[in-house]
Structure 1
Amino acid sequence: MADTKYLQKKGNTWRVVVEIPKPLRPALEGKPRFIKSLGTESLTDANRLKHQHVAEFKRRIKLAEKGQADPRAAAMQAAFAFREAFASADNDYLEHGDQESTAASELLAVVNREAEALLETEGPEAARLFRSLATGKATLIRDQYPTWLTICNGTEQTKAQHKSTIKRYLAWAGEYMSIQGTDRRKAGEYVQLLRDDGLSSKTIQRHLSTLASLWSWLMSKGLTDPSERDNPWRGHGVGKRSSGSKRKAVRKGLTNDKLLKLLKGRYKTPRYANVLSDLTRLALLHGTRLDELCALKKADVEKLKDGYWFSITEGKTEAAIRQIPVHTLAVPIIQRRLAGADEYLFAGLVPGGPDLKRSWNVSKAYGRFRKQVGVSAPFEDFHALRKTFADLMESLEVPESTVQLIIGHERGFTYGVYSTGQRMNLRKVIEKVDYGPDVMKALASP
């Protein structure tokens, strides 16, 4: 049986948990337990990493039993106090009998004595950190990354991923890890840990991209070691695939058998049953994204002489903003959803996620639904419906530039600059949609 003593899993990540005896909790900030994320999904690595933290937590509990303060935490607080003192110290001479010194040199002497005492009790790493923090030669990562998160580009969801990535590194490197203490060797050790945890190359590359972007900003602010001119998070060769490695899976269009499972299936709860049924049909008939459909308002739907059209008013790129004719089979869905007082075509969706997207919870429900009906392979998600539509357009020999206009992709230079597609009969193209008699019959029967 795997050893999980002092370990607890939160989400996919293991963490150390050491309970604090009730009588000692007031002396330890009222905490019921010590918790430390290990930043790993591997139980083997968690067992390897836990011991130092368990020992540290037990040390603090032992000190509390003796009524003593934690010397390491107190030392770090003292280091910050020394830093403030250095910032205010001038070079005026101080007289000590027949000796003279500057205020700064006096402070440095005290810092060195404190560091030597810490060396004996807590070890060399704690002593080095104390000295560098106290003298202002070290800047903590934890003090800088929140500012970067406020100014970096990206959605709130992307920024949440950045924050999680940085916190994972600090969970491994330590709360007091400094910018200067993160060199290429340290970065390489962390990359190896991510590999050992079994993360895919793509995921590791995403982690490194976040840390490299943070470091570029730190370098531009002059906060890194001047002798370190290279970004320590770049050039680790993670994205390179060895000749013998398997080619990664890619998203493909769905087969008709799987389309029929989705179209004939019914989600198990009424909250999303009709929503998923309608969204699946609209995506297959128009190649639209889930975000776009969930954000549609009734004001975005217009009835013209040739039938209904809906307008996508925002998206990932400028090309995503477009007008699409509604397929004949989708008209009953549109008419039914136009009824009622809600401003959105899909009423009652609860926004979720960092960006409060109306599609957030729908996406999760669709993931459960497709597995429920047996469409459970990787990349057979809602976006696969869009890929299925694009594949159909190709099989019908619809020009690529026309398909890009419908699904909201960037078009080539000639089409993008010299043509807006306004003279093109998009309705004729949309009405070409034909997945075969069985699928078309299922599409017409929501």
Structure 2
Amino acid sequence: MQLIAHAQLPTENSLDGLLDKWIDSTGCLKTTSFQRRQAYAELRDFLGGNRSPTVVTPALAAQYVDERLRQSADSPSTRRRKLSALGAFWAWMATRRFVANGVNPWSGFRIRNSGNARVGAKKRPYTMTELLRLFSGSPTYPALREVMALGLFTGARINELCSLTHADVRWDRGVAIVQITRTKTTAGVRNLAVAHHIPVAILRSRTRRSAPASAQLFPELRGGGYDKKLSWHVGQAFRYHRNKVGLCGETDFHSLRRTFITRMENLGVDQVHLARYVGHALPTLAFTLYSGGSTETTQRATARAVTYPPRVEAAVSSFLRSQHP
């Protein structure tokens, strides 16, 4: 099928121009605006550039859904959201007579859940066996393997890790003291002691490099999403890797945090010390008003308790080594 060249299109009546008019007219939230633009950007890539809306026939839409949308690494709910956004865009164009009214090329498609994911499935920790699968394979996205390992051994959130700078890490008698400040809650602001040899080796390697104190600990990361978080592309790459190794939609990057907390509870770590370590709020007035928070001594004691079964630690070590053949 011969598509119309971009240079031949009046900008205001092309998909690029109409998308801006649509989004401006709806007054939608910033997140929704970003998601709609993302859905269109992927279609635009499939079309080979900016096109007339009349180019998208029902047959071409079906080709896009079959060859791109259904084959993407996105979750079924994300694919449905993107399909819905395209349908809403075309419905808006129909009301303005830019496309024929009553014929929406994006209607009638069904995006089914994959066999290992359930609608509304509650997120959960990884099992030890699942960790062996997660820490395998050969993901190529920069810093992904290191961020995954730090998440497993510290319980820190993905954006807390991706946002670290050189100034946030200091060393004291072989223990890394990591200052967490870029976090979503007040309780999340904390000094995190890291003593296990696997995350210590990662932090040693990163801080050994000469860089200004304000420089990113993971300088290869670039912001993404509507709020330009450094964790955005890492999260996308993680989901792709998780899907590739055959793990289900009940787990995500945050499940590493759930796994850490579950593991520490099973190891008998004091609940208050654990809550302070991972940045959870403590419920009572004594903790929220009168307590000065945990000391580095208690943080170190918690850090030294961090262990996983030998087979899991061996898998993580091998996973990290294989990124530098």
Q: State the TM-score, normalized to the length of structure 2.
A: 0.63
The aligned residue for residue 357 of structure 1 is 229
1:438 aligns with 2:311: yes
1:327 aligns with 2:195: yes
Once the two structures are TM-superposed, the CA of residue 30 in structure 1 deviates from its matched residue by 7.5
Once the two structures are TM-superposed, the CA of residue 294 in structure 1 deviates from its matched residue by 0.9
Paired amino acid for 1:172 = A
Structure 2 SS opposite 1:349: coil
Q: Structure 2 vs 1, CA of residues 286 and 143 (structure 1 numbering), >3 Å: closer, same or farther? A: closer
Alignment match of 1:252 (pick from 88, 102, 124)? 124
The aligned residue for residue 316 of structure 1 is 184
Q: Structure 2 vs 1, CA of residues 279 and 31 (structure 1 numbering), >3 Å: closer, same or farther? A: closer
Once the two structures are TM-superposed, the CA of residue 297 in structure 1 deviates from its matched residue by 0.4
Paired amino acid for 1:286 = T
Does the Cα contact within 8 Å between 1:253 and 1:387 map onto a contact in 2?
yes
1:393 aligns with 2:312: no
- Over residues 220-269 of structure 1, what are the superposed CA-to-partner deviations in whole Å (9 max), with x where a residue is unaligned? xxxxxxxxxxxxxxxxxxxxxxxxxx883111111212212233x24253
Does the Cα contact within 8 Å between 1:319 and 1:409 map onto a contact in 2?
yes
Q: Structure 2 vs 1, CA of residues 170 and 349 (structure 1 numbering), >3 Å: closer, same or farther? A: closer
Does the Cα contact within 8 Å between 1:285 and 1:327 map onto a contact in 2?
no
Q: Structure 2 vs 1, CA of residues 161 and 336 (structure 1 numbering), >3 Å: closer, same or farther? A: same
Paired amino acid for 2:219 = A
The aligned residue for residue 64 of structure 1 is none
Does the Cα contact within 8 Å between 1:258 and 1:375 map onto a contact in 2?
no
2-side partners of 1:396 and 1:376: how far apart?
A: 25
The aligned residue for residue 336 of structure 1 is 205
Looking at secondary structure, tell me which structure has more strand per residue: 1
Q: Tell me: higher relative CO, structure 1 or 2? Use CA pairs within 8 A at least 6 residues apart.
A: 2
Once the two structures are TM-superposed, the CA of residue 379 in structure 1 deviates from its matched residue by 3.0
CA-atom RMSD in angstroms: 4.1
1:303 aligns with 2:222: no
Paired amino acid for 2:279 = G
1-side partners of 2:224 and 2:258: how far apart?
A: 25
1-side partners of 2:23 and 2:232: how far apart?
A: 30
Q: Structure 2 vs 1, CA of residues 33 and 253 (structure 1 numbering), >3 Å: closer, same or farther? A: closer
Once the two structures are TM-superposed, the CA of residue 388 in structure 1 deviates from its matched residue by 0.7
Which runs of 5 or more structure 2 residues have no equivalent in the other structure? Answer: 40-83, 97-107, 113-117, 321-325
Does the Cα contact within 8 Å between 1:350 and 1:361 map onto a contact in 2?
yes
1:384 aligns with 2:258: no
2-side partners of 1:404 and 1:251: how far apart?
A: 19
2-side partners of 1:321 and 1:399: how far apart?
A: 20
2-side partners of 1:291 and 1:386: how far apart?
A: 12
The aligned residue for residue 63 of structure 1 is none
1-side partners of 2:273 and 2:169: how far apart?
A: 21
Q: State the TM-score, normalized to the length of structure 1.
A: 0.47
Paired amino acid for 1:280 = M
Does the Cα contact within 8 Å between 2:151 and 2:256 map onto a contact in 1?
yes
Q: Structure 2 vs 1, CA of residues 276 and 31 (structure 1 numbering), >3 Å: closer, same or farther? A: closer
Aligned length: 252
Which runs of 5 or more structure 1 residues have no equivalent in the other structure? Answer: 1-5, 7-18, 38-140, 150-155, 178-195, 201-245
The aligned residue for residue 65 of structure 2 is none
Structure 1 SS opposite 2:243: helix
1:284 aligns with 2:152: yes
The aligned residue for residue 34 of structure 2 is 160
2-side partners of 1:30 and 1:286: how far apart?
A: 50
- Over residues 72-119 of structure 1, what are the superposed CA-to-partner deviations in whole Å (9 max), with x where a residue is unaligned? xxxxxxxxxxxxxxxxxxxxxxxxxxxxxxxxxxxxxxxxxxxxxxxx
2-side partners of 1:331 and 1:281: how far apart?
A: 11
Rg (Cα) greater in structure? 1
1:172 aligns with 2:91: yes
2-side partners of 1:262 and 1:433: how far apart?
A: 19
2-side partners of 1:142 and 1:443: how far apart?
A: 44
Q: Which region of structure 1 is more displaced relative to structure 2, 281-290 or 398-407?
A: 398-407
Paired amino acid for 2:204 = Q
Once the two structures are TM-superposed, the CA of residue 442 in structure 1 deviates from its matched residue by 3.4
